[in-house]
Amino acid sequence: MKELTCPEEIVNMFAEANGYEELIPVLAKLPFTFKRLLKVAKMSNILRSKAWRMLGELYPEIKRGNWSLEVNRGIVTQKGEQKL
């Protein structure tokens, strides 16, 4: 299993996206928060895809295979075998 270090800027983007995702169920239970909920969900998706894109530019091998990020450690880990 291969591990790559992730820059702090990208880790912060993933942490912010995770924070937005945790806010979604809270907003879903409150009345009159539908527009805010949509905005939060959109920001989460945008941040997460931008962070993965930046990681792909930094480490081109990430574009192939199944990878996961450990936000606490700032490490990207490969899951399973790479398919060529």
Backbone angles phi, psi at 3, to 5 degrees: -125, 135
pLDDT band for position 82 (cuts 50, 70, 90) = low
Taking only the tens place, the pLDDT of each residue in 35-56 is 999 999 999 999 999 999 999 9
Cα of 57 vs its chain's centroid, Å: 15
Asked if residue 42 lies in contact with residue 27, where contact means CB atoms within 8 angstroms, the answer is no
pTM (2 decimals)? 0.81
Asked if residue 66 lies in contact with residue 80, where contact means CB atoms within 8 angstroms, the answer is yes
Alpha helices in 1-84 (DSSP H): 8-29, 34-58
